[in-house]
Amino acid sequence: MTLIDKLKHKQAAVWELPAWGEVLRQQWESQFAADLSRADKTAIGMNQYLWHAFSFNRLPCLQRERAIQAFHHQSEKNCYVFFQHSDDALLLEGAGDIAAEDFSQEGDVYVVDREFRWTFVKTHETEWCGPYFLAASEAMEGEQWQERSEMRLSMPG
């Protein structure tokens, strides 16, 4: 069963967003890793994998079972799903029943709520790295969060 089939089976509305992957990766980096310097991002290879910000301990996050539990406790799951090495993405609405296990066959997949307040990441290195979970409020304080949350995504064109 494909990922889309799994998500639809859980009664989630799923929209395919071709060409949105790059925009969502840029927004993810702007929202969650904006405080890392360009030199630091280069040193940890964030151009290869955004999740290196977690595996190199540059961002505070929950890992492994705690990350999965935090993801499962997100009550509103209107979210984007995107991938490190694909420009395809998904928009999910009413996906409250999705679980980390739904992404078990995926590697380097990022799930974020529509406002980029939290992210769940499953890596291809499942035995060593991840999964990871970060709520934006854990990484930044009030005004800083307000500034970033006002940024809006625009459709790639």
Q: How confident is the model at residue 141 (pLDDT cuts 50, 70, 90)?
A: very low
pTM for the model stands at 0.86
pLDDT of residue 3: 94
Domain boundaries, the chain: 3-149
pLDDT of residue 144: 45
Q: What b-and-e string marks burial along 91-122, b requiring 16 or more CB atoms within 10 Å of the CB?
A: bbeebeebebebbeebebbbbbbeebbbbbbb
Q: How confident is the model over 5-47, as pLDDT tens digits?
A: 999 998 899 999 999 999 999 999 999 999 999 999 999 999 9
Residue of 140, 142, 144, 124 whose CA lies nearest to 132: 124
Q: Are 151 and 27 in contact (CB under 8 A)?
A: yes
